[in-house]
Amino acid sequence: MRLRVLVLLSGILPWIVRGEDACCAAPPAEAETGSAWSDTSLFHLESGFVNTEGETVRLADLAGAPTVMAMFYSNCPTVCPRLIAELRRLEGELKDGAAERLRVVLVTLDAERDTPERLRTYAEHMRIDLKTRRLWSGEAKDLRTLAALLGVRYRKEANGAISHSAPIVLLDGEGRIVARMKGAGVDTTAFVRTLQEQLDPEAL
């Protein structure tokens, strides 16, 4: 709980500090409906997801700091292990301690099988540190909504496998998509540059 308050505070503070000087970002739209997020912010999504502790989480909980997001499923034999390896590679390319500030949220595409317990086991198996990496599950309809927002295309096959594209998406602290990569094995230069900028303490 205290952590969540901190996260929220760290989301509000930059607004106060930066004021009018906010650089590259489009100005936050409309005060009328009471939301500070810009029109293109994914934080408008109200759907709840479930983390590995079984708690309900929302995209807006990620406010205040950049987040790398991708979708996967734990039974995935090929694409997902490569995706996770690619995320490690990105981390390795970051400089000046930025990797320590990197937050990654991986959301499953498999609502049926990927329970919080199952995702905890998967994290252990894949040596994913749940202190800095988050694995979320949720209801099938909400996972499909998120996939649409992140541009992940997928289909469940008759044999239980899920064919899916595996883009890696960077959200800024206000929930806007500021960079995306098509998946593993592509040029990472532009993505890493934006990620490094976003993680630069002066940018936060």
Q: How many residues bind other proteins (CB under 8 A)?
A: 32
Q: Please report the beta strands in the chain, taking only residues with DSSP state E, as ranges in sequence order.
A: 49-50, 56-57, 67-72, 104-108, 133-136, 154-156, 162-164, 168-171, 177-181
Binding segment toward other proteins, per CB under 8 A, in 90-98, 117-125, 147-155, 189-197: 147-155
Q: Which two tokens stand for residue 79?
A: 């694409």
> CA-CA distances (angstroms) from residue 46 to 12, 16, 85, 108?
19, 25, 30, 18
Task: For other proteins, give the closer residue by CB, 76 or 135.
Answer: 76
Task: For other proteins, give the closer residue by CB, 34 or 92.
Answer: 34
Residue with tokens 């230069």: 189
Contact residue for other proteins among 69, 149, 171, 179 (CB under 8 A):
149
Task: For other proteins, give the closer residue by CB, 4 or 182.
Answer: 182
Binding site for other proteins (CB under 8 A): 33, 39-42, 44-45, 78-79, 82, 141, 144-145, 148-149, 151, 153-155, 157-158, 161, 163-167, 182-186
